[in-house]
C-alpha cells in the first residue's frame, strides 16, 4: 500500500501511460487545476488514464471481493508511484443528443449523481409549523429524552382509536384485557380499572405505556417501552413531561408538556404526512421534481402586455392591439370588434 502524501497534494512520479515520458507532477488538492496543451500531448493520458484510473482502482479495492465483481475494474496505469490520491469521479467528453431539456448537468451526466446526493443530505420541514421532519427510531427518541429531560419524570403514551358509540366502560375493559391499566385523559392519569365518572370518550385516547424517571440507568427500559409504544401506536408515540411537582427537573411554567414523535416522514405535531425525499424530487425530468410553471423546460411562453398594447390610451377600434394592425392579422381585429 502506498503511503499517503505528506502535503495536501497528489504526488505523481514516473508517469509513462501512452505517450507520457516519465513525468513527475504534484497536483494540489481542493483547487482547480487545468491540464492544457496541443493535441496528442498526453492530456487525456494524464487526467483519465493515469490519475482517474488509479483513484478509481484504489477505491474499488476497498470493497469486498463479492462487491468488486459488480464494479468496473480499471487497469493499473503505467506509473512508478502515486501518493495521496482520493477516490475520483470523471466527466468525459461526449457528444450526446441535445434536446429542449438539455443542460450542462444532463450533457455531462453530473445530474445523475446530484439527484442521488440531494435526497441523502436534504432536510425536510413541515409546511405548517416549520419544524424539521425526520424519521425517528426508538433509540433516537430515547437519546433526545435523556438529553432534554434527564432527572425528570415522563409518561410514554400512544394513541388508540375509539370505535364510534363505544361506551367508556367497554373501552376500559378492552384495555385491561390487553394489559393496560392507565390512560391520559383531559390532562391527568385515569385508571381503567376504576369506576371513573366519564360520560364519553373522544375519537382517540392516549394509552400510557410506561412512567419513567429519566436517567442513563433507565435507558434500556426507555428504549424497550418506546419500541412497544411505537408498535401499538402505528409508528407514533408521545412523551408527556410531568410538571415540577411530580418531577425532579425544574419546569418554570409548571405545565405539562407533550412531545409527539413519529418514525416516518410525518409531522407528529401537525399530523401531516409529507413525501419522502427521492431522486425524482430533485430532477426536472421527473413529474415530481419539475417546476409546475415551466414543467421542467426552464422557460415559459406568455404575453408581454407592454409590447402587445404599447399605447393603452387607444381604443380597440383604433388599433390598441399592435399585432392586429397589419393586413395578416386584420381578420382577428374584426373578430375582436
What pLDDT sits at residue 13? 93
Residue-wise pLDDT for 160-215, tens only, equals 998 888 888 888 888 888 898 899 988 888 888 876 677 788 888 999 999 999 99
Domain count, the chain: 3
Mark whether 184 and 79 lie in a shared domain.
no
Mark whether 258 and 172 lie in a shared domain.
yes
Q: What is the DSSP letter of 163?
A: P
Mark whether 314 and 241 lie in a shared domain.
no
Q: Is the pLDDT of residue 249 over 50?
A: no
Q: Is the pLDDT of residue 66 over 50?
A: yes
Half-sphere exposure for 235 (CA within 13 Å, toward CB): 12
pTM tops 0.75, yes or no: no
Query: Is 237 inside a domain boundary?
Result: yes
SS3 295: coil
110 or 197, greater pLDDT: 110
Name the least confident of 143-157, 227-241, 294-308, 317-331.
317-331
Mark whether 190 and 256 lie in a shared domain.
yes
257 or 259, greater pLDDT: 259
What pLDDT sits at residue 254? 55
Sheet order of strands, 188-191 included? 188-191, 182-185, 204-213, 153-161, 236-241, 257-262
Query: Is 328 inside a domain boundary?
Result: yes
Query: Is 228 inside a domain boundary?
Result: yes
Q: What is the 3-state secondary structure (H, E, C) of 78-98?
A: CEEEEECCCCCCCCCCCCCCC
Residue 75 domain boundaries: 9-83
Q: Is the pLDDT of residue 252 over 70?
A: no
Query: Is 99 inside a domain boundary?
Result: no
**Cβ–Cβ < 8 Å for 261, 236:** yes
What pLDDT sits at residue 244? 63
Give dist(CA 219, CA 142) in Å, integer. 7
- Residue finishing a domain among 33, 62, 83: 83
Q: Is the pLDDT of residue 270 over 60?
A: yes
Mark whether 79 and 149 lie in a shared domain.
no
- Residue finishing a domain among 66, 83, 100: 83
When pLDDT is averaged across residues 311-317 and rounded to a whole number, the result is 79
Mark whether 174 and 261 lie in a shared domain.
yes
Mark whether 259 and 196 lie in a shared domain.
yes
Q: Is the pLDDT of residue 77 over 80?
A: yes
Query: Is 313 inside a domain boundary?
Result: yes
Mark whether 58 and 174 lie in a shared domain.
no
Question: Where residue 7 falls among pLDDT bands split at 50, 70, 90?
Answer: low
Give dist(CA 51, CA 63) in Å, integer. 20
Query: Is 161 inside a domain boundary?
Result: yes
Give dist(CA 89, CA 67) in Å, integer. 19
Mark whether 156 and 235 lie in a shared domain.
yes
- The CATH number covering residue 166 comes to 3.30.190.20
- Residue finishing a domain among 33, 67, 83: 83
Q: Is the pLDDT of residue 2 over 90?
A: no
Q: Is the pLDDT of residue 253 over 50?
A: no
Question: Where residue 235 falls among pLDDT bands split at 50, 70, 90?
Answer: very high
99 or 48, greater pLDDT: 48
**Cβ–Cβ < 8 Å for 208, 180:** yes
What pLDDT sits at residue 196? 66
Give dist(CA 180, CA 282) in Å, integer. 46
Beta carbons within 8 Å of 293's beta carbon, 6+ residues apart: 300
Cβ neighbours, 10 Å, residue 184? 19
Closest CA relative to residue 277, chosen from 141, 149, 133 = 133
Mark whether 265 and 332 lie in a shared domain.
no
Give dist(CA 232, CA 178) in Å, integer. 11
Query: Is 39 inside a domain boundary?
Result: yes
Residue with cell 404575453: 303
Query: Is 193 inside a domain boundary?
Result: yes
Mark whether 52 and 162 lie in a shared domain.
no
97 or 44, greater pLDDT: 44
What pLDDT sits at residue 316? 75
Cβ neighbours, 10 Å, residue 164? 6
Mark whether 258 and 211 lie in a shared domain.
yes
Name the least confident of 79-83, 95-99, 261-265.
95-99
Q: What is the mean pLDDT of the chain?
A: 85
Amino acid at each position: 500500500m502506498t503511503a499517503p502524501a505528506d502535503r495536501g497534494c497528489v504526488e505523481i512520479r514516473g508517469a509513462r501511460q501512452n505517450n507520457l515520458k516519465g513525468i513527475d507532477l504534484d497536483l494540489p488538492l481542493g483547487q482547480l487545476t487545468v491540464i492544457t496543451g496541443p493535441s496528442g500531448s498526453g492530456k487525456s493520458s494524464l487526467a483519465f488514464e493515469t490519475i482517474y484510473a488509479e483513484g478509481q482502482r484504489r477505491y474499488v479495492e476497498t470493497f469486498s471481493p463479492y462487491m468488486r465483481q459488480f464494479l468496473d475494474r480499471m487497469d493499473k496505469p503505467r506509473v512508478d508511484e502515486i501518493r495521496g490520491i482520493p477516490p475520483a469521479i470523471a466527466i468525459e467528453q461526449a457528444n450526446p443528443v441535445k434536446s429542449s431539456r438539455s443542460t450542462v448537468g444532463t450533457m455531462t451526466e453530473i445530474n445523475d449523481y446530484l439527484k442521488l446526493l440531494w435526497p441523502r443530505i436534504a432536510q425536510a420541514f413541515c409546511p405548517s409549523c416549520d419544524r424539521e421532519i425526520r424519521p425517528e427510531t426508538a433509540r433516537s427518541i430515547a437519546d433526545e429524552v435523556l438529553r432534554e429531560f434527564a432527572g425528570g419524570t415522563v409518561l410514554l403514551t400512544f394513541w388508540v382509536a375509539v370505535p364510534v358509540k363505544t361506551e367508556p366502560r367497554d373501552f376500559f375493559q378492552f384495555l385491561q384485557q390487553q394489559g393496560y391499566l392507565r390512560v391520559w385523559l383531559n390532562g391527568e392519569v385515569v385508571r381503567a380499572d376504576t369506576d371513573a365518572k366519564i360520560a364519553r370518550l373522544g375519537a382517540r385516547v392516549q394509552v400510557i405505556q410506561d412512567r419513567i424517571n429519566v436517567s442513563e440507568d433507565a435507558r434500556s427500559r426507555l428504549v424497550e417501552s418506546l419500541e412497544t409504544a411505537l408498535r401499538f401506536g402505528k409508528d407514533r408515540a408521545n412523551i408527556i413531561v410531568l410538571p415540577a411537582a411530580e418531577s425532579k427537573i425544574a419546569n418554570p411554567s409548571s405545565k405539562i408538556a407533550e412531545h409527539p414523535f413519529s418514525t416516518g416522514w410525518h409531522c407528529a405535531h401537525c399530523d401531516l404526512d409529507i413525501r419522502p425525499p427521492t431522486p425524482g424530487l430533485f430532477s426536472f425530468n421527473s413529474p415530481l421534481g419539475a417546476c409546475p410553471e415551466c414543467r421542467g423546460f426552464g422557460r415559459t411562453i406568455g404575453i408581454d402586455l407592454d409590447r402587445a398594447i404599447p399605447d393603452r390610451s387607444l381604443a380597440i377600434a383604433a388599433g390598441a392591439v399592435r399585432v392586429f394592425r397589419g393586413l395578416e392579422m386584420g381578420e382577428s381585429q374584426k373578430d375582436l370588434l
